[in-house]
Structure 1
Amino acid sequence: MTEEASHPTYTRTEHCSASLVRRVAAMLDLPMDAIDDGAVLPRGWHFILMGADTRRSDLRADGFPGLGAAIPDLGLPRLLQGGRTVVYHRNIPIGATVIRTSGVADITEKTGASGRKAIVTIAHSMRLSDETEPAITETQTYLLLPAQSSPKASVPGEPTAVSATQTKTVLPDETLLFQYSALGFNSHKIHIDRDHARDVEGFPDLVVNGGLTTLFLTEFARRELALNLGRFKMKNVAPLFCGRPVTLAADHSGTQWNLKAYDDSGRIAAEMEAEVNEL
């Protein structure tokens, strides 16, 4: 069933400051020489303009703050990000003031063999303060799930080879998960509280943020593939875990690119369909 009631939207003024952008570069272990007012914010880094500001008393029980729009509990205590679609309409200069509008676009509840669940869609629009049209539009989907009846840690399968035109391996450690969560003011416990991730949610370790996996792939596209992303659609298929290597892979046909993130067993964890603009 789809909830028909209208949902409020929230408008915030964000400043794309050079100091904040430098923190992203520091997290990614990149040089900061070219980061100054007037330079273009790298595509994929706009997540710093979508941080939460939810009061601690208003957090969900799992710690998730909602990134710009509150996500209801609906009696479903577990939350995972399903995916996102991003369209880049124009560049955002570092130092610019950005007007961000966010809101719940849809809530759909379903009941299946595994029980009741809900899919929540959040829509975001970001425009420069002196413009009327958006610079970036983004839609995110979240899955709300029932509590685990008897959480059990998963066991990795046998590794399989990843075949693609270009690949790269990254290793998300605790420091990286902390820094990414801090940049977005994201207190979701599956990313920062190992006991909660294991004992309550049933994961084997801290879960890599869905947004961080997206950043791995957009940075792979930007730095290794020299792509200027125009739009992309991201789907999170399975969780990735702290301390386990992630293989990034890419294949393309013309301006269409297919990027994937594989876990340490060679299973697909995330897929990105991307379109690029000519540089």
Structure 2
Amino acid sequence: MSFARLQRLHLPRGLHLRSNSVLSAKQLTALDEYIAAPKKLVLQDTFSTERLSDLFITLPTRDGTQKPYQPPEVGQTLGNGWHLAFFHPRTPDSLLAPDGTDGAVEFGPPSPFTRRMWASGKISWDRKNVLRVGDTAVSTSHFGSVQKKGFDSSNPMVFVTQKIEIGKKGATEPSITEERSHVYVGESVSPSVNPKEVKGLPQSADRSFSFMPTLTMLFRYSALMFNAHLIHLDKDWAQQRRGYPERLVHGPLTALMLLETAKFHRPEVEITEFEYRARNPLIVNERLTVNVKWVDEKTATLWCINEKGVVGMTGKLTT
């Protein structure tokens, strides 16, 4: 993601900033040192049939309730977005943040920027160099860019984009390239009472898929990702510490469901690129509908809404 594009990013999930204290000289120095320091994270994982079976039974598009269940088989092409449930660091509990997040995997900035939100992302697949079920692969992440925003006001925030390359172990070229952008703010942030309006979406969808993000679904996806973020698991934390009405649906889970819906209705489609952006919070036990509108033979617009019609995420895919 380019710096110019980062400048166009906005605070996701309908958040609104309360007054924040001015950063101290020590905090500013720590942030500058963090930005200047090189960062790299290399992780290895195997796309085993066991892990993928756990993912399949978590996804309502693949759990056998809407279509006959088809278990993953060694040698089949790895599906779009399945890698999001792999490649997690193994950090001791005592080294996690108070909210359960792992700063190592997102390259999180120092205090006071302790509150993380998944903002957006972009994924590209090399269809001539695919990963397959059973492959052992290596994920290499490094800094893409950092943007400081609002530092001339009382509401500073930091946008961090990491670039990720995933390829079969021993390969010289990646099969998947990805950019993930997170925004970090201080503790004094509260959700907006009014959801953010999203304009420019199609008036109708070609295909849709509705599902209920239950607590079981959120727990299972957290477990697959080795993700202890309390915003997805702890009702008291979500309500009392973060001001949300309930626990939140994972950003990458919603993104995966956008991809899954497109493939559910057109399994023959070979997706080469996917971009997505979080718009408003989506919560547990509130029915969601993913919509797909094909703009032409190669491009589709996707969006996920809750039962009130609030847009939680938008996306675009290219074949």
Q: State the one-letter code of the partner of 2:49.
A: A
Counterpart-to-counterpart distance in 1, 2:89 and 2:218: 16
Deviations 1:128-167 (A, max 9, x none): 1132100101110111122236x5794789xxxx732222
The aligned runs of 1:126-275 (5 Å cut-off) are 126-148=166-188, 154=193, 163-226=204-267, 227-254=269-296, 255-275=298-318
Counterpart-to-counterpart distance in 2, 1:74 and 1:51: 23
Would you tell me which structure has more strand in proportion to its own residues?
A: 1
- CA 1:187 to 1:8, structure 2 compared with 1: closer, same or farther past 3 Å? same
Give how far 1:33 is off.
Answer: 4.5
Q: Give the conservation status (yes or no) of the 8 Å contact 2:43–2:88.
A: no
Q: Give the conservation status (yes or no) of the 8 Å contact 1:197–1:205.
A: yes
User: Which of 80, 99, 106 is the equivalent residue of 1:43?
Assistant: 80
Could you tell me the percent identity over the aligned residues?
25
Counterpart-to-counterpart distance in 1, 2:57 and 2:290: 21
TM-score norm. by structure 1 comes to: 0.89
Partner residue of 1:83?
120
Q: Give the conservation status (yes or no) of the 8 Å contact 1:237–1:271.
A: yes
Counterpart-to-counterpart distance in 1, 2:79 and 2:143: 27
Partner residue of 2:57?
26
Q: Secondary structure at the match of 1:11?
A: strand
Q: Give the conservation status (yes or no) of the 8 Å contact 1:82–1:236.
A: yes
Moved more, 24-33 or 225-234: 24-33
Q: Give the conservation status (yes or no) of the 8 Å contact 1:208–1:242.
A: yes
Q: Give the conservation status (yes or no) of the 8 Å contact 1:153–1:204.
A: no
Q: Which runs of 5+ in 1 are unaligned?
A: none
Q: State the one-letter code of the partner of 2:286.
A: R
Counterpart-to-counterpart distance in 2, 1:148 and 1:251: 38
Q: Secondary structure at the match of 2:217?
A: helix
User: Which of 141, 148, 163 is the equivalent residue of 1:109?
Assistant: 148
Q: Secondary structure at the match of 2:89?
A: coil
Give how far 1:197 is off.
Answer: 0.6
Give how far 1:66 is off.
Answer: 4.3
List structure 1 runs of 4+ shifted beyond 6 angstroms: none
Q: Secondary structure at the match of 1:228?
A: coil
Whether 1:7 and 2:38 are equivalent positions in the alignment is yes
Q: Which runs of 5+ in 2 are unaligned?
A: 1-27, 197-202
Deviations 1:104-137 (A, max 9, x none): 3222221176711111112211111132100101
- CA 1:113 to 1:238, structure 2 compared with 1: closer, same or farther past 3 Å? farther
Counterpart-to-counterpart distance in 2, 1:62 and 1:103: 24
Give how far 1:50 is off.
Answer: 2.7
How large is the RMSD of aligned CA atoms in angstroms? 2.5
Deviations 1:83-105 (A, max 9, x none): 11000113211111101111232
Q: Secondary structure at the match of 2:205?
A: coil
Give how far 1:54 is off.
Answer: 2.2
TM-score norm. by structure 2 comes to: 0.78
